[in-house]
Amino acid sequence: MVLQGRSGTVGHAGIVGLEGGRCRRRPDQAAQASADEDRILTIPNVITVVRLCLLPVFLWLLFARDDRASAAWLLAALGTTDFFDGYIARHFNQVSNLGKVLDPVADRLLFFVGVGGIVIDGSVPLWFAAAVLVREATVAGATLTLAAMGVRRIDVTWFGKAYTLLLMISFPLFLASHSTLGWHRGGGTAAWILGIPGLVLAWYSAALYVPLARQALAEREVVV
């Protein structure tokens, strides 16, 4: 191992230098990290694609089969798996650029298709569903506008993940409360207990994106 002062060269485990006490990795390692994020076939991406493919099954169960119970179980499963693919991506080096785009798109489609189907079915109060869908449409429109302007993608916040989980459990519970399940009355109560905090967090997380969007726009102006 070779050491040369504080900013010299260190030949160890791919570290090629020290600058200000910080290690710089070899260019080939940086290239490998970039290549890893360019991967398409990852477990989280497969889970996300499966979630998207099962959305028509949800609509079929709800409208063609008139099976609210099965549709509620499926929608709840599709909503909660969002946390599983995120956990796998972060803890097993499965993060990819495709996943960063595909996962939020799947979440938005899950909301619009799932909530829209439940609204048509009449199993959820219209004002509650409208408050959620307006929020989703606003954020989706802002995201597309920023992307068209060449602004970097804004990462999802913890509050965004939390409200997604709460609402993607509460909406299936609303549906279950109008089904033949033995616990349908309790399902309606649980839907409100989870749904109101979820709605508050949804709009709070949307408000948090405003300063983040401004910062991203400022960075873009500096780069340009």
157 in helix, strand or coil? coil
The pair of structure tokens assigned to 134 is: 């307006």
Domain count, the chain: 2
CA 123 from centroid of its chain's CA atoms: 25
pLDDT number for residue 132 = 94
Handedness of CA 210, 208, 47, 66 (dihedral sign): negative
- CB atoms inside a 10 Å sphere around CB 102: 19
CA 198 from centroid of its chain's CA atoms: 15
Q: Residue 20: which domain range?
A: 1-37
pLDDT band at 160 (very low <50, low <70, confident <90, very high): confident
Closest CA to 108 of 156, 152, 74: 156
Is the pLDDT reported for residue 220 higher than 90?
A: no
Model pLDDT for residues 82-105, shown as the tens digit of each residue:
777 777 777 777 777 777 777 778
Based on the fold, state whether residues 109 and 185 are members of the same structural domain. yes
- Rounded Cα distance between 27 and 29, Å, is 5
Residue 32, CA distances (Å) to 26, 27, 40, 224 in order: 10, 9, 15, 28
Based on the fold, state whether residues 115 and 28 are members of the same structural domain. no
Based on the fold, state whether residues 12 and 121 are members of the same structural domain. no
Closest CA to 120 of 178, 78, 199: 178
13-19 — which CB contacts under 8 Å span 24+ positions?
none
Amino acid at the residue 213:
A
Model pLDDT for residues 17-63, shown as the tens digit of each residue:
444 444 455 554 444 445 456 677 788 888 888 888 999 999 999 99
pLDDT number for residue 38 = 65
pLDDT band at 110 (very low <50, low <70, confident <90, very high): confident
Based on the fold, state whether residues 33 and 138 are members of the same structural domain. no
Model pLDDT for residues 178-216, shown as the tens digit of each residue:
999 999 999 999 999 999 999 999 999 889 888 877 887
Can you list the positions of beta strands (E) in 21-155?
22-25
21 in helix, strand or coil? coil
pLDDT band at 5 (very low <50, low <70, confident <90, very high): very low
If you count them, how many residues does the chain have? 224
Based on the fold, state whether residues 67 and 96 are members of the same structural domain. yes
Is the pLDDT reported for residue 6 higher than 70?
A: no
- Rounded Cα distance between 142 and 187, Å, is 34
Based on the fold, state whether residues 30 and 59 are members of the same structural domain. no
Based on the fold, state whether residues 3 and 106 are members of the same structural domain. no
> Which position has the higher pLDDT, 3 or 208?
208
Based on the fold, state whether residues 186 and 80 are members of the same structural domain. yes
- Rounded Cα distance between 224 and 222, Å, is 6
Based on the fold, state whether residues 91 and 137 are members of the same structural domain. yes
Q: What is the CATH number of the domain that holds 45?
A: 1.20.120
Based on the fold, state whether residues 101 and 166 are members of the same structural domain. yes
User: Of 153-157, 162-166, 180-184, 197-201, where does the model show the most confidence?
Assistant: 197-201
- CB atoms inside a 10 Å sphere around CB 127: 7
Determine if the pTM surpasses 0.85: no
